[in-house]
Amino acid sequence: MDLRSYYKKVREAEASLKGTDVVLVSLATTEGGKEGVRTEAPRGVAAKLIAEQRARVATDEEAEEFRAGLRAGRERYEQEEAARRVQIVMVPANSGRDSKKSERDRS
């Protein structure tokens, strides 16, 4: 592999990317890479994956779906955590009546 051409491809890919984080969609590879897996990666890592033809930049629609899924997962996690933190104090229903009754009996 010619390192100069590899790094040239990486620089070109990085120059074409917008923002600091990029949503990628994986491509099938001979090493067993699974096609269609979405992930978010820093710009430099994304450029390397694109240059190595292991991933492509997600379309705007794919990126929005991916981020919506992340938001939904985050909300579900926060609800589960809030439900786990709820504390219940049980007070026997008779305790209030018993104390008033015992005061009357003493009199």
- Tens-place pLDDT, residues 47-92: 999 999 999 999 999 999 999 999 999 999 999 999 888 777 788 8
DSSP state of 24: E
**Predicted TM-score (pTM) of this structure:** 0.69
Amino acid in position 14? E
Instruction: Beginning with the edge strand found earlier in the chain, give each strand of the sheet holding 38-42 in spatial order.
Output: 38-42, 21-26, 55-57
